[in-house]
Amino acid sequence: MATHNILLAPGDGIGPEVVGQTRRVLEAVGERFGHEFAFESALVGAAAIAAEGIEITDEVVDRARSCDAVLLGACGVAGGAAINGRHPERAVLRLRTELALWTNIRPVQIFEPIIDSSPIKPEILRGVDMVVLRELTGGVYYAEPRGRLTVDGEPAARDTMLYRRSEVERIGHRAFQMARRRRGKVTSVDKQNVLESSAYWHEVMTEVAAQYPDVEMDQILVDAFAMRLILSPRDFDVVVTTNMFGDIITDEMAVLSASLGMMPSASLGDSSRGLYEPIHGAAPDIAGQGLANPIGAILSAAMMLRLSFDLETEAQAIEDAVSAALDAGYRTADIKEAGSSHVGTSDMGEAIIARIGVPAAA
């Protein structure tokens, strides 16, 4: 029996709570399906700054390189503040860089039992099935020069938005290859009317599209996409976009799923090793109270089983268990309907575990 080595990086705020429940779910999967998962734990974010004086140590990075996958909770403190000049969130950026992860994958799954928890009308949401591929290593978050300077005697700051052909091509190919396995449509999101880097992105994506005549492609400005995402989300299948635009629109996508707490993500490079995390933040205001929704983290583990370990049946079992728990009426505070009661983090985890590998009712 192969052992799958997973590095758990709970991080800050509600991270330890949701990662704790996710570990229990993975242990249940291992027991029910006969798999061996070996877990290690590591400090990242504010927890690492408190213990080590840095948001992530070289030793943790080395351990991440040697494992099969990393499951992260959340990094950060209230208001996104720095701690002794250190930013907890940069632990995630370093992991993405050191592990050479260049695609962030965020699916949108609509669960019928909580469809009324979204502010979007149910008739708009039903049938939504989309995934966003966000480029992770280029763009304004990483390019140089950046920093503070003086311009004409006045204090100023600058960032650089730069994309190389190779960065655009490789995520373009990944998007089109994914679309071939889905509904055969790619939407490329940019701002080519005002940004030179976006005009280049647009140009290279057009060239990549020509290699996939069986896949439909449309290209849309990011502001127009932000509107259409709410008005007609069923229009989209595979969406591919830049680092910064993807960061913003994937948070907007959470309104479709009713809560940030429902949204999983995966970050992948050339190999099967990936970084998996819910898209929500550390939420320090509710940390330690048992109020956090663990579903985003649990669904991230399902993505891990599918994408890093090639365990499709087991991944589907987790997703089915989440759906069954919601169908049975289990709700955390962020997804409860007005006037209804809710369960805590551990109770939601237990409800999902109880339904793993249980055949769906006819």
Cross-strand pairs, 61: none
- Which domain CATH number covers 231? 3.40.718.10
278: DSSP letter? -
353 and 289 in a single domain? The answer is: yes
pTM beyond cutoff 0.85: yes
CA-CA distance, 336 to 258, in Å (whole number)? 10
Determine, yes or no, domain membership for 242. Answer: yes
Q: What are φ and ψ of residue 221, in 5° steps?
A: -70, 145
- Report the alpha-carbon distance of residue 102 to residue 137 in Å, rounded: 5
Specify whether 88 is located in the same domain as 128. Answer: no
Task: Verify that 297 and 335 share a domain, yes or no.
Answer: yes
The answer on 51 and 5 residing in a single domain is: yes
What's the pLDDT at 337? 81
Is 113 domain-assigned? no
Please name every residue paired with 8 in a beta bridge, in sequence order, or none if there are none: 41, 71
Residues 165 and 251 in one domain: yes
* Total domains in the fold of the chain: 2
Alpha-carbon distances of 76 from 72, 90, 245, rounded to whole Å = 12, 9, 21
> What local confidence, expressed as pLDDT, does residue 44 receive?
98
Domain termination residue (choose one: 256, 288, 307) = 256
> What is the reported pLDDT for 76?
94
Domain that holds residue 146: 119-256
Helix (H, G, I), strand (E, B) or coil at 341: coil
134, 29: one domain: no
Indicate whether 195 and 248 sit together in one domain: yes
Q: Domain boundary residue among 256, 281, 313? A: 256
Distances in Å between the Cα of 262 and the Cα atoms of 106, 168, 179, 223 are 11, 29, 23, 24
Residue 111 lies in a domain: no
pLDDT on residue 190: 98
Positions marked active-site:
141, 191, 223, 247, 251
Q: Which residues of the chain have pLDDT under 50?
A: 362
Q: Which residues contact 62 (CB under 8 A, 6 or more apart)?
A: none
Contact 330, 314 (CB under 8 A): no
CB-based contact 9:42 (threshold 8 Å): yes
**Same domain? 15 vs 37:** yes
Q: Residue 351 in contact with residue 312, Cβ under 8 Å? A: no
- Considering the domain boundaries, does residue 161 fall inside one? yes
Query: Do 85 and 124 fall within a single domain?
Result: no
- Domain match, 30 and 16 both: yes
Cα 230 from Cα 233, distance rounded (Å): 6
Domain end call among 256, 281, 299: 256
